[in-house]
């Protein structure tokens, strides 16, 4: 099966985070049919990671890895002369197809790599956290995400923050009798947006997205509760940023720090074009899987959109690229 056909086969299996069981079964079955020692690693309920090695080398030095889950909504595959479309085509089912094809080509040369496909990357990296407790001791992990076949020199981190304001309900005809939580939240967000965020030469700025705002009970009720969900893209340690956020909203709202994924610098290889990944990956949760590299076909700019696609040429080129990287790392 070529990479385009395999990509479409995988895209057509709905695997929104939490519903990866079927795609895992299909990948596991295909790897077994190709002669790999493939295992399903339970994560949660019927959700399983898939880890496969060649019988000739049960503990490979190099492992290719990416994730099986997608963001909603499910979009089936289609194609034209140059592109494959559909949910997961570039993030990251096309990468699964490429990594399997590269592993097959390398195996013909007597170079044996492992394959690790994970659940839950789009939400909380739960599959990676489970896999990290079961590392086979490999030296290098080549993680696949849409980087347009450029190798990442760094990956920004993530800080998810809830900002919560509380007030006092009253009839909206008499606002002086209440205290608006929404007014407090809006002022807190105004101050947070005015904060000067750090920047790092060669990496870029720390950025803020106010992703969700919710609160209130009815148009004729002074709101007693309001909340916003924020996401910062980190370019370094978050300790000072956390302190500044709390100080900025003090007296207006309280802060909950929900999730932090650290900023990381990554290994590169001479002669390969580079980029900075402004997104986060499973890599910070896979610290026991060797020195990480980040590279893959597709553009992050179309991932998570209703027009997600991957260029067929990038899929083909990525097979060559993964093989070349594995050979270089093997020395």
Contact 228, 189 (CB under 8 A): yes
Residue 228's CB is within 10 A of a number of other CB atoms, namely 21
3-state secondary structure of 151: strand
Instruction: Pick the catalytic residue from 121, 145, 148, 311.
Output: 121
Report d(CA 44, CA 119) in Å as an integer: 9
Report d(CA 290, CA 288) in Å as an integer: 6
Is 121 catalytic? The answer is yes
**Sequence-ordered strand ranges (E) for 139-253:** 140-143, 151-155, 157-166, 199-200, 204-205, 207-215, 225-234
Residue 73's CB is within 10 A of a number of other CB atoms, namely 9
Phi, psi (rounded to 5 degrees) for 115: -130, 125
Task: Please list the active-site residues.
Answer: 121
């Amino acid at each position: 099966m070529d990479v385009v056909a395999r990509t479409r086969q995988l895209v057509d299996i709905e695997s929104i985070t939490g519903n990866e069981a079927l795609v895992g079964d299909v990948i596991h079955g295909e790897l077994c049919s190709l002669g790999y020692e493939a295992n399903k690693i339970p994560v949660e309920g019927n959700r399983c990671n898939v880890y496969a090695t060649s019988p000739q080398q049960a503990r490979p030095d190099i492992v290719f890895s990416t994730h099986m889950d997608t963001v909603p909504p499910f979009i089936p595959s289609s194609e034209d002369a140059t592109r494959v479309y559909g949910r997961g085509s570039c993030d990251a089912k096309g990468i699964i197809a490429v990594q399997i094809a590269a592993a097959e080509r390398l195996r013909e040369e007597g170079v044996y790599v492992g394959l690790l496909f994970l659940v839950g990357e789009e939400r909380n990296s739960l599959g990676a956290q489970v896999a990290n407790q079961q590392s086979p001791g490999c030296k290098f992990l080549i993680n696949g995400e849409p980087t347009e076949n450029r190798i990442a020199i760094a990956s920004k981190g993530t800080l998810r923050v809830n900002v919560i304001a509380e007030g006092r309900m009253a009839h909206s005809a008499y606002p002086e009798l209440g205290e608006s939580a929404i007014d407090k939240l809006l002022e807190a967000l105004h101050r947070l947006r005015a904060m000067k965020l750090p920047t790092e030469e060669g990496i870029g700025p720390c950025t803020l997205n106010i992703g969700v705002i919710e609160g209130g009970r009815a148009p004729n009720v002074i709101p007693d509760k309001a909340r916003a969900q924020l996401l910062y893209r980190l370019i370094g340690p978050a300790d000072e940023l956390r302190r500044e956020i709390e100080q900025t909203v003090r007296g207006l709202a309280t802060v909950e720090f929900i999730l932090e994924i650290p900023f990381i610098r990554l290994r590169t290889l001479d002669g390969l074009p580079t980029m900075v990944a402004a997104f986060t990956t499973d890599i910070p949760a896979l610290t026991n899987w060797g020195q990480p590299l980040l590279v893959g076909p597709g553009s992050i700019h179309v991932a998570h959109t209703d027009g997600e696609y991957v260029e067929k040429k990038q899929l083909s080129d990525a097979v060559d690229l993964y093989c070349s990287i594995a050979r270089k790392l093997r020395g």
